[in-house]
Chain A
Amino acid sequence: MSSLQAPHPQASDAEPAISTHAAARMLGVSVGTVLNMVDRGQLRAWRTAGGHRRIARSAVTDHLSARMRGQAARLRVMVVEDADFFRVAYADQFEAWSLPVDLRLCDSGVEAMLEIGRQPPDILFADLRMPEIDGFAVVRTLRADERFAAIDVVVITGLSDAEIAAGGGLPSGVPVWHKPIPFAQMRGYLDARLSDGARAIAT
């Protein structure tokens, strides 16, 4: 069943309409895809008295907005961890959770800083003891730079509190979780952030 309505001059009078080609350009898809979307009822459309197909502009903008909301609802999570085994464990656990999360795993502080510069995550889970640029340096750098103030930083480490203090400590307000990786705590944290994100979108 097609959602394409019969000639309906009133509709075109009542609301702004665009051509199929214009809708395809706005949505960044092919004309064929737009026609499929019309057939599936995802875009409101009709024909003019002259037989031209018209698509409600508001239907296209609504679809674009929904797409953006869907993207915004995904959390960008970065884990920096130099131990191969723990990276496998993180990947495995995140896959099992099936949350709307885009996970990036970095094996060094250098890689993490490069990736953060390219696209900052929403949350960074950082190990501390790593070769070269360690987690202390990563966390201090992020917390000293206003551009990265929006990133939530959580440290996950095998170091004791005394060892962290001996390493120069961490900026105030940075939570420290101790290994073994507290996955239950991490899940609760992610759920809370996802819930916050959903509320922000809804309002």
Chain B
Amino acid sequence: MTAMPEPDFDGATLVRLGEGESRRIRRLASAFLATTDRTLAEIADAIGRCDLRAASGFGHQLKSSARWVGAPALGLLAERLEHLAAGADPEPSAGLLAEMRLAYERVREGIAEVVDALPADDGGAMP
């Protein structure tokens, strides 16, 4: 029997984090997306430089934040990078990064759906 795969995104988690307030949910979503865009770029840069220790550190950061906003699949991939990057070969890390980018696209779509469904009365649009 195989384990159930981690879901890509659970919007209820993000809504709960923002305690149901549209302004806070938008702010958290925006911060998560901005941070993750940057973190994935930093991971790519670190792998390109064969600095796997740095890649591991970025994987650690992304692991926690992804799980926290309700993106456990991305969190699991980030955790694998965290531990994989402790080795010496950059090749598996590059493959993992490609998987993370795909997972992140699905998370981004899920977040956009949650944010689009929020009432617009107490905050601006997500950038």
Chain A residues at the B interface, C-beta cutoff of 8 Å:
82-86, 88-89, 92, 96, 129, 131, 158-159, 179-181
Contact = CB atoms under 8 A, between A and B. Distances in A.
A82 B28 contact: no
Interface stretch (B31-39, B91-99, B105-113, B118-126): B31-39
A119 B127 CA distance: 37
A92 B24 contact: yes
Interface residues of B, number: 21
Chain A at the B interface: SS class: loop
Contacts of B38: 84
B24 A96 contact: yes
B80 interface: no
A96 B64 contact: no
Contacts of A131: 54, 57
Given A88-B27, A92-B24, A92-B28, A83 B68 contact: no
A83 B27 CA distance: 15
A131 B54 CA distance: 8
Contacts of A129: 57, 60
Contacts of B67: 179-180
A92 B61 CA distance: 19
Interface string B1-40: 0000000000000000101010010011001101110100
Closest 7 pairs between A and B when the two form their complex, measured CB to CB:
A158-B64, A88-B31, A85-B35, A180-B68, A179-B64, A83-B61, A85-B65
B19 A83 contact: no
Given A92-B24, A96-B24, A129-B57, A84 B64 contact: no
A158 B60 contact: yes
Interface in B46-101: 54, 57, 60-61, 63-65, 67-68
Contact of A92 (B27, B36, B54): B27
Given A83-B35, A84-B38, A181 B68 contact: yes
A133 to B, nearest CB: 14
A49 B47 CA distance: 85
Contact of B31 (A85, A158, A179, A181): A85
